[in-house]
Every structure is written in C-alpha cells, then in structure tokens.
C-alpha cells in the first residue's frame, strides 16, 4: 500500500506518538498509516528478547500478553499519529475476542494490521490481527481511552 497519502514511523517516530518505551515497546516500525483509519506494524523477534529464556527454555515462544501488546501498540497508532492526540496516555477498557492461532518463535517477523472502527470523545474502538508470513497468529478487539480527552466529557461537579 505505502503511497503518498500514508504515514510511516520508525522507532523514534513511534516514541513521539505513544508513551511505550523499552522494555515495553513491542513494535519496530509502523507503516501504511491512514490517520483515523488503519495502520500496519512490524515486530522482529530475536532470541535476545528478555522473555524467551524463561518462556520456555526448551521451547521458546512469544507470551500471549506480548502478542496482545504488539496488536494494541499498532492499533493506537491509528489515532495517536494525529497531531491533536500525539503523545497522549492511553488506557485499556477492554480486550475482547482474543485468539491465538499459532506459536511465534525466535527469528520470526510479526506483521500487525490494525483498524480503527470508531473514535469519539477519547474512546477508540477497533481491532488488530497479526501474521507470520500469510499465516494468522493472533487477533483481538480493543476499547481504548485517552483519559485527557475523556475528562473533557465527564459531567462537572457543582
């Protein structure tokens, strides 16, 4: 896809948009971003990752919670790339329909495709799925808030 109407972000650009940092930053690049619509991200897994030696020593693979973080960190770039929301804090509200279809092992590259279904009053709803090659690895639906935006819509105390 990557044409003149899409955005791309390297690690520095990702960190300008979202607050995740090592060791909790789980995407290496974000490409083909259509702000307010979709994003595509990549994570290259090497045996050097801090979790592989303990998960598991005889059969290293990516833990489920890290797979979910890869998905959501790509998903939040669908709106955090917009100037108005760049760098804002995000909070999980819900993770639904999470499915793990295949094991991800050292040396594999994960491609994540995220879609923003709606974004209103600081509440983002959408989904993401990941692939190793053409084989689906994981998918989930998300409800994420931007607390600083959401605060503007809460009723004021009298």
Enzyme catalytic residues: 55
Print burial letters for 79-99: b (CB count within 10 Å at least 16), e (below 16): bbbbeebeebebeeeeeeeee
CB 13 within 8 A of CB 77: no
DSSP code at position 34: E
CB 122 within 8 A of CB 114: no
């Amino acid at each position: 896809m990557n044409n003149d109407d899409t955005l791309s972000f390297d690690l520095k650009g990702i960190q300008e948009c979202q607050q995740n940092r090592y060791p909790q930053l789980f995407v290496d690049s974000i490409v083909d971003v259509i702000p307010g619509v979709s994003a595509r991200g990549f994570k290259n897994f090497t045996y050097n990752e801090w979790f592989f030696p303990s998960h598991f020593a005889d059969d290293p693979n990516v833990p489920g919670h890290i797979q979910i973080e890869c998905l959501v960190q790509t998903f939040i770039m669908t709106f955090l790339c917009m100037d108005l929301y760049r760098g804002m804090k995000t909070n999980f509200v819900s993770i639904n329909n999470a499915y793990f279809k295949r094991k991800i092992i050292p040396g594999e590259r994960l491609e994540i495709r995220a879609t923003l279904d709606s974004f209103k009053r600081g509440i983002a709803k959408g989904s993401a799925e990941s692939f190793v090659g053409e084989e689906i690895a994981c998918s989930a639906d998300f409800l994420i808030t931007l607390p600083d935006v959401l605060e503007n819509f809460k009723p004021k105390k009298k």
